Amino acid sequence: MNTVTKLGVFAAGLAVVFGGAHAVGQTQEDDLPRRYADYSAEPEEHAEAGGHAHEGSAEPAGHVPGGLQISQDGYRLRPVTTTLKPGERHDFSFHVLGPDGEPVTAYQVAHEKKLHLIVAPRDLGGFQHLHPELAPDGTWTTPLTLPEPGTYRMYADFAAEGGPALTLGADLTAQGDFRPDPFPETSRTSEVDGYTVTLQGEMNPGQPSPLSITVSKDGEPVGDLEPYLGAQGHLVALRAGDLAYLHVHPMSGMTGVVFMAEVPREGGSYRLFFDFKHGGEVRTASFTLAG
Ligand SMILES: [Cu+2]
């Protein structure tokens, strides 16, 4: 029995897959929506989504990570505004345009939401995970504050009804004197509001890689994390340098000790952001791993 189990600490199996480009042509109601389907799934499923060849390895050849493109597979992300005043709360709106050029109004639910919006500054010194409201005309709106001047990346992680799972990205700017922070050094422990969160495992390039997370407070393991987005936490990984987006989530049906990550074959450094809920509040821990 490993340390995690022995301590009875929260531990979640985490599968890392790049959003999009490997969707399955059907809607699933279970805990593993098609966007998170493992690369080991039926090869024809990948071919259907993006025409990528499958080499029998963890990652389809020619696979492009999520979050790098503003349009893909006929869908286009269209922010209503891209320039915000720093430190000021805005009602930020955007559309996802479908293959017909019209705003998409019907979405599939994944992790309890129709769309997940992530916003991070380009130096990866911060992270916001938002759930905008969808108006009947297809307009997504959420309160958004860009805390400091700089350039930010927004990610819309969604699957339109009948469409592929995608993560589209666009840049947002907050005017002013931008003072980027250096990329944080490798770090597996994060302190947030008195919680100590620790990440175990490696981002092994091109290989299924185990990851697990433990949360403790005042030296005691936290064994009663609350469900958040249908799981015991939510993890996003952003690649240093280009801010490619990986979606990471607990493995369904795993009981604490089997964890899996699908990491792109090229080496890179990643900033990981783990949202967890305890005492009715969602907090974010962050880590840096090299792969
Ligand atoms: Cu979300």
| Three-state SS sequence of 224-268 | CCECECCEECEEEEEECCCCCEEEEEECCCCCCCCCCCECCCCCC
Residue 14: per-residue pLDDT: 42
Task: Show the tokens assigned to 118.
Answer: 């992530």
Which residue's entry shows tokens 């009602």?
A: 91
Q: How does strand 165-174 pair with strand 83-84?
A: parallel
Residue 272: per-residue pLDDT: 92
Find all residues with CB under 8 Å of 28, minimum gap 6, and list them: 34
| Gap from CA of 214 to ligand 1 centroid (Å) | 21
Question: Could you give the dihedral angle defined by the CA atoms of residues 49, 52, 72 and 67, in that order, rounded to the nearest 10 degrees?
Answer: 110
CB of 269 closer than 8 Å to CB of 183: yes
CB of 269 closer than 8 Å to CB of 131: no
| Gap from CA of 117 to ligand 1 centroid (Å) | 6
| Gap from CA of 215 to ligand 1 centroid (Å) | 20
| Gap from CA of 57 to ligand 1 centroid (Å) | 29
| Gap from CA of 276 to ligand 1 centroid (Å) | 12
Query: What is the reported pTM?
Result: 0.78
Residue 261's CB: how many other CB atoms inside 10 A? 25
Residue 39: per-residue pLDDT: 33
The pLDDT tens digits of the residues spanning 43-80 come to 333 333 333 333 333 455 556 789 999 999 999 999 99
Residue 235: per-residue pLDDT: 84
Residue 263: per-residue pLDDT: 79
List, in sequence order, every residue forming a beta bridge with 235; answer none if it has no partner. Answer: 248, 274
**pLDDT of the chain, 291 residues: tens digit per residue:** 444 333 333 344 444 443 333 333 333 333 333 333 333 333 333 333 333 333 333 455 556 789 999 999 999 999 999 999 999 999 999 999 999 999 999 999 988 999 999 999 999 999 999 999 999 999 999 999 999 999 999 999 999 999 999 999 999 999 999 988 888 899 999 999 999 999 988 888 887 777 888 889 999 988 888 888 877 788 888 999 999 987 666 665 544 423 566 778 888 899 999 999 999 999 999 999 987
Q: Burial, 177: exposed, middle or buried (Cβ in 10 Å; 0-12, 13-18, 19+)?
A: exposed
Task: Show the tokens assigned to 143.
Answer: 């309160």
| Gap from CA of 235 to ligand 1 centroid (Å) | 10
Residues 171, 44: Cα–Cα separation, whole Å: 33
List, in sequence order, every residue forming a beta bridge with 221; answer none if it has no partner. Answer: 216
Residue 261: per-residue pLDDT: 67
| Gap from CA of 138 to ligand 1 centroid (Å) | 18
The pLDDT tens digits of the residues spanning 117-142 come to 999 999 999 999 999 999 999 999 99
Residue 212: per-residue pLDDT: 85
Residues 27, 211: Cα–Cα separation, whole Å: 27
| Gap from CA of 131 to ligand 1 centroid (Å) | 6
Residue 135's CB: how many other CB atoms inside 10 A? 13
CB of 82 closer than 8 Å to CB of 200: no
The identity of residue 170, as a single letter, is A
- Structural domains in the chain, CATH included, are 20-174 (2.60.40.1930), 189-289 (2.60.40.1930)
